[in-house]
Amino acid sequence: MTPYNFDEIIDRHNTNCLKTDRLNERFGNANLIPLWVADMDFRTPDFIVDAIKERCKHEIFGYTFAPDAYYKSILKWLHYKHNWEAKREWLSYIPGIVKGIAFALDCFTRPGDKVIIQPPVYHPFRLVPEMQGRRVVDNPLKQVDGQYQMDFDHLESVIDGQCKLLILCSPHNPGGIVWEKETLVRLAEICARHQVLVVSDEIHAEMVYPSYTHHPFPTVSDTAASCSLTFMAPSKTFNIAGIVTSYVLIPEPSVRHKFVSFLKARELDEGTIFAYEATTAAYTHGAQWLQEMCRYVMDNVRFVTDYLEKEIPAIKAYRPQASFLIWLDCRKLGLKQKELVSLFKEKAGLALNDGTMFGPGGEGYMRMNVGCPRAILKQALEQLRAACRLSSPQH
């Protein structure tokens, strides 16, 4: 019998929760079922909460530093989850992965330089470079037999001397793809040959499903290790995004020195008391909770895919290979994107992410977060079924 109750429904309203308390601002309706922001509606595990409570008992929260236990917990976890013998000197705290991407752009590129992304992909990959005056170059993923793959021929055709950096999403969001080692090896070879630095966002890496293996980018080859920065965090995995627990690993000394010097000069490498406490607790005590959470989420994925196949066959769910996000192919509904968004929001009463926010290839798609109690998913799908039936030409 599991000690964790993932069926528990917790009201997150009026807690400054982005997912619930910004619904009216973002969607114009505060009463939608929120299946958009990529955090989970499960209670943060007790071992993390207890560690924070214990630290609070001291009642002084002065200047702090990362304890040895913090570094040891990360290194031990990387070995446990990924069989990665990382070194302490490779590690630095960063105050968020998207912020880390922005810092890497500031550190390694200049306004006007080109940055490569692989859409459809997490939208800050485009927004952050554009807001910093960099030129975004699309290397769209291609679909082969219904599965996304990297298009290396296209990548080779768009790289030029102004391309300085490629932002990799691994595992991929929103596609849920766990990249094979051979794919990452080839990507590293191309980028290294063209002197393109790879920034690998691996925030979903700890939630990879059985039968798939996540390969941290620097582990696939010496070449990959020489031309990359890898961003990770326990925040998605253990539902602690509000605590800000990200870190970067950089094996290559010259890249590491430049980036860590950039961070130190701005005191961006210093975490908070609770970031250190939460990370250490998560990685020290989190194995069982993670296993059970992933099992529950995988059952949610099966529930959604089975429901759609039976009740709404015009919507196809890509079965993710990691994490709690499902990419929904709604093209067979025959709706324009505005009509599709209206179907979900106005008619079904659901808040999902519009596929077009992820760039080219997102047209006709929506992204659904299934990191929630199954009863909420069941209600959402029933509302979607009713909306689709009302909207169908046969009705």
**Number of domains, the chain:** 2
Which DSSP string do the residues of 313-342 spell out, in sequence order? TTSEEE--SBSSEEEEE-GGG---HHHHHH
- pLDDT at residue number 395: 40
Inside any domain, residue 54 = no
- pLDDT at residue number 393: 55
Inside any domain, residue 241 = yes
Residue 153 CB-density burial (10 A; 0-12 exposed, 13-18 middle, 19+ buried): exposed
Distance CA 224, CA 287 (A): 28
Q: Strands 114-117 and 247-249: what pairing?
A: unpaired
Q: Last residue of a domain, which of 285, 309, 331?
A: 285
Inside any domain, residue 351 = yes
Same domain, 265 and 218: yes
Contacts of 114 (CB under 8 A, 6+ apart): 134, 135, 136, 137, 160, 162, 163, 164
Same domain, 112 and 174: yes
Estimate to the nearest angstrom the gap between the alpha carbon of 309 and the chain centroid.
Answer: 26
Q: Last residue of a domain, which of 257, 285, 313?
A: 285
Same domain, 267 and 184: yes
Inside any domain, residue 244 = yes
Same domain, 191 and 276: yes
Inside any domain, residue 369 = yes
Q: Which two tokens stand for residue 54?
A: 């214990």
Same domain, 299 and 175: no
Distance CA 157, CA 140 (A): 12
SS3 289: helix
Same domain, 271 and 383: no
pLDDT in tens, 311-323: 999 999 999 999 9
Residue 101 belongs to domain spanning: 62-285
For the chain, residues with pLDDT lower than 50 are 394-395
pLDDT in tens, 208-221: 999 999 999 999 99
φ/ψ (deg, to 5) at 239:
60, 55
- Report the predicted TM-score, pTM, of the whole model to 2 decimal places: 0.96
Same domain, 191 and 267: yes
Same domain, 69 and 137: yes
- pLDDT at residue number 391: 73
